[in-house]
Amino acid sequence: MTCTFATTCWENDWRHILLTPDYLRVKMIQNHCHPFQERLLIINNVRNLNEVIAAAQQHVNTGTLTRYLIANEYVERAFAFFHLKRNDFPNDWVYYNALGPLVAIFVLQTDYLLYHTGDVFLEKPVNWISSSIALMKKRPQIEVANLIWNRQLGEVKRESYKKSWNFFFAKEGFSDQQFLVKKSTFRAPIYGEIREDSHHYPRGDVFEKRVFSFLKNRNCERIICRRGSYTHENIK
């Protein structure tokens, strides 16, 4: 099954993602130990677009990225496809937070998508994607996979209801920090549902809240791979 890697950059993190040696190539992509058919960058809200494009093109030239896209050039088509409107997002932060993953999902050409934010990386190699996809194919109720977050094994155990040799299993929870999902489910107008018990997500009706609500309304599950962790560090 084919899989795309995608991430988003914006004004406060594009220099770190695109100009820090080996950050994008190794820590964000290569350490997943998977032959991604596409490696995609979504350029979101930045001040000097030409400067960011030039930096992104260098990564295309070296083969780290297969392409980059400008989020604003796709937003109208993506929102129409997903049955969303600009006023579904109450402020700019919520809007731009959703725009990156929604555009990545809208343009997705492979069977699966691994998306994570630009401030998420792997400190060392973890071979987890192929086994996660295999289990997701075997058990259709599993819609999301991710690694342990920030080495918080205790928190993962509390959120899970069982474990196997390689995975923890959870019946709720979703984070846009990192998610591996199926195109067949996520490239569809599923982002209009808001549950009353989803308000633990901050800052309004964010992308995470919408996905959480959709998944929980259908009793979907997610798996957390026990064999590795990602690191999330806010980029100032």
pLDDT average, residue stretch 151-171? 95
The closest of 219, 217, 192, 189 to 205, measured between CA atoms, is: 192
- Percentage of the chain modeled with pLDDT above 90: 92
Sign of CA dihedral 90, 96, 102, 103: positive
CA 26 centroid distance within chain: 17
Residue range 120-134: mean pLDDT, rounded: 98
Asked whether the predicted pLDDT for residue 236 surpasses 80, the reply is no
Q: Which amino acid is at 122?
A: L
Q: Which of 41-55, 129-143, 200-214 has the lowest mean pLDDT?
A: 200-214
Tell me the pLDDT tens digit for each residue of 189-208. Answer: 999 999 988 888 877 789 99
CATH fit for domain 3-232, picks 3.40.50.300, 3.50.50.60, 3.30.40.10, 3.90.550.10: 3.90.550.10
Question: Confidence band (pLDDT; 50, 70, 90) for 133?
Answer: very high
Mean pLDDT for 207-213 is 95
CA 72 vs CA 3, 37, 76, 147, 184: distances in Å: 24, 24, 8, 30, 24
Q: Return the higher-pLDDT residue of 234 and 145.
A: 145
- Mean per-residue pLDDT for 136-150? 97
Across 56-65, 196-205, 206-215, 224-233, least confident range:
196-205
Mean pLDDT of the chain: 96
The pLDDT of residue 158 is: 94
Q: Could you tell me if 138 and 27 are in contact, meaning their C-beta atoms sit under 8 angstroms apart?
A: no
Reported confidence tier of residue 63, pLDDT bands at 50, 70, 90: very high
